[in-house]
Amino acid sequence: MQRMHYMCLCLPLRLMPKNVPGSKGESAMIEVEVKLPVSEPDTIKSEILKMGFKEIAFIQERDTYFDNAGGNIRANDEALRVRETKDYLTGTIRAQMNFKGRKLDDRTMTRKELETGVEDGEVCREILRAAGFAPADPEVVKERVMLQKEQMTACLDSVHGLGEFLELEILVSGEAEKGAALAQIEVILNRLGYQISDTVRISYLSMLQGKRRRELS
């Protein structure tokens, strides 16, 4: 079976920076995200490096998504997530909790997001279970290489069960700067040979669940 590859370009607009792997600082943001398939991730990485990015980290991220008994979080196009991050270079493991609001436009995956570090990811998951929240299946696990250029972070993701992705992030002070930041993302898209119209608006979790349904049908 031919392996599918994707490129994910994300532009989070945050009130606090989060370009440190597994950062424990609290953060509120608007996350502008676009995704598209890519068949040659190594070529994409080479092109990104030619643009002046430098490698800064190699990590694994394990995401568990939760919903309430009525399924209202997902039904409202929102997301509640616990993420554990393992730094392969230092061996440290950190955790954080995120809440993502519904998409704010019909072109990208732009969302408001709240985030805070937690001491223990497993305890956080158990607290949510005890409070009546149910974990979504499957977990989303990926290896991530992080590269940095000025205020922009590029993340090369290998998502278990899906393939390869690229994520780009820029940190800005507020929503008023969203347009200018998105324009920078479009410049990168164009330099890689893509347009906003090439993108899809599907999360990794939804992709994995859709793949599972197709395999069972």
The CATH number of the domain holding residue 142 is 2.40.320.10
Q: Is the dihedral of CA 196, 201, 207, 213 positive or negative?
A: negative
Residue 75 lies in a domain: yes
Segments forming the whole domain that contains residue 206: 6-216
d(CA 179, CA 30): 12
65 is a catalytic site residue:
yes
Provide the number of structural domains found in the chain.
Answer: 1
d(CA 47, CA 58): 19
Q: 114: helix, coil or strand?
A: strand
Residue 1 lies in a domain: no
List, for residues 176-186, the tens digit of each pLDDT value: 888 888 888 88
Candidates 65, 88, 194, 204; catalytic one: 65
Q: 135: helix, coil or strand?
A: strand
Amino acid symbol at 47? E
Quote the DSSP letter at residue 104.
Answer: S
List, for residues 146-198, the tens digit of each pLDDT value: 988 888 888 889 999 999 888 878 777 778 888 888 888 889 889 989 888 88
Query: What separation in angstroms does the CA of 192 have from each of 2, 7, 51?
Result: 23, 11, 11
